[in-house]
């Protein structure tokens, strides 16, 4: 439970009970998956259903949206695609790193995997009661998987990390300490991991160095490693961002435009032990160029007013 957080009572409790997070998920699917909103239907038992069976629908292992309100510190969101061999080990590492530090949940989003990822998650849930899992019925991309996980999250702070095991969960407590330096989570602060001694190929490291340099120069985000999957941020702030495919690669400049502070912290990086990368260098290059110009346009056209509470 986030320190200082109290369970709502009275009118606040009534308002909380009237809120249905499935409606937020339905809206997210409409805005973020590119679905025609006129074709999205809502089923009270199954949530959003797309009548033409287009990508973006969600099926659930259990129904985490039906879970009663739980007050906790951190939701760890892990998007995966064909990572069956890495599921069990990474979940165990997350629990080991955090069990004595804070209250947390782990949310895996299976982005339409075609291997045994779903089965591996089902087996892991029998051993780890903090684990929740959701599944896209078709592959929708890492950004869409993250937004699905953040929508389902029950904590005010989100931690994301890649599901390939290269991000070390043991780095999360240090990021959490930085976010809670004043005793409470700083909702205006975004903590980005900066991979040191990267365990990737020389060509991938070189391409990342050039890409980060160009992006930082054009977007002025002052983030040396925007591609690191390990980040901590406010759930509310994330849900207020504009949504588009590949947005996860541009979270620092998007948060900065919101008026948040972005800080980079060194984190441990590891070689991939199983499975294979889902992206090639040139895949990221060409898509990244178009996305870069799109984010530059958003920076010029988006306006977030300064907020203050009146007496």
Is residue 109 helix, strand or coil?
strand
What separation in angstroms does the CA of 109 have from each of 106, 146, 176, 203, 241?
Answer: 10, 8, 22, 29, 20
Nearest in space to 152 (alpha carbons), one of 34, 69, 41, 35: 69
Q: What is the pTM of this model?
A: 0.69
Within 50-83, residue ranges assigned H as helices are none
pLDDT in tens, the chain (311 residues): 444 444 445 544 444 444 444 444 444 433 334 333 222 332 333 333 332 323 333 433 334 443 445 579 999 999 999 999 999 999 999 999 999 999 999 999 999 999 999 999 999 999 999 999 999 999 999 999 999 999 999 999 999 999 998 999 999 999 999 999 988 999 999 999 988 877 666 666 666 666 666 667 777 777 777 778 899 999 999 999 988 788 888 898 889 888 899 999 999 878 877 766 655 555 555 566 777 777 777 767 666 655 656 65
CATH tag for 59-301 (out of 3.90.550.10, 3.40.1710.10, 3.20.20.450, 3.40.190.10): 3.90.550.10
- Residues 72, 156: Cα–Cα separation, whole Å: 8
C-alpha Rg value of the chain to the nearest Å: 19
Residue 251: count other Cβ atoms within 10 Å of its Cβ: 22
Give the start-to-end residue ranges of the domains of the chain. Answer: 59-301
């Amino acid at each position: 439970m986030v320190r200082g957080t109290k369970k709502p009572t009275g009118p606040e409790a009534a308002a909380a009970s009237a809120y249905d997070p499935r409606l937020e998920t339905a809206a997210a699917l409409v805005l973020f998956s590119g679905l025609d909103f006129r074709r999205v239907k809502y089923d009270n038992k199954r949530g959003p259903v797309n009548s033409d069976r287009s990508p973006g629908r969600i099926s659930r292992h259990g129904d985490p949206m039906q879970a009663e309100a739980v007050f906790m510190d951190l939701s760890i969101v892990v998007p995966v695609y064909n990572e069956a061999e890495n599921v069990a080990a990474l979940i165990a590492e997350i629990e080991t790193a955090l069990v004595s530090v804070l209250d947390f949940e782990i949310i895996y989003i299976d982005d339409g995997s075609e291997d045994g990822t779903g089965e591996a998650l089902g087996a892991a849930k029998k051993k780890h009661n903090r684990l929740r899992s959701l599944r896209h019925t078709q592959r929708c991309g890492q950004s869409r998987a993250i937004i699905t996980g953040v929508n389902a999250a029950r904590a005010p702070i989100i931690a994301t990390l890649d599901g390939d095991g290269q991000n070390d969960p043991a780095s999360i407590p240090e990021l959490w300490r930085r976010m809670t330096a004043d005793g409470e989570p700083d909702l205006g602060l975004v903590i980005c991991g900066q991979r040191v001694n990267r365990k990737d190929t020389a060509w991938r490291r070189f391409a990342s160095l050039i890409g980060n340099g160009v992006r930082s120069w054009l977007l002025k985000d002052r983030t040396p490693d925007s591609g690191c999957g390990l980040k901590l941020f406010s759930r509310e702030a994330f849900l207020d961002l504009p949504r588009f495919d590949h947005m996860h690669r541009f979270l620092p400049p998007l948060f900065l435009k919101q008026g948040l502070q972005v800080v980079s912290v060194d984190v441990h990086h590891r070689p991939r032990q199983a499975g294979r990368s889902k992206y090639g260098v040139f895949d990221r290059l060409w898509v990244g160029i178009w996305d870069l110009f799109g984010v530059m346009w958003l920076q010029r056209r988006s306006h977030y007013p300064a907020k203050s509470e009146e007496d």
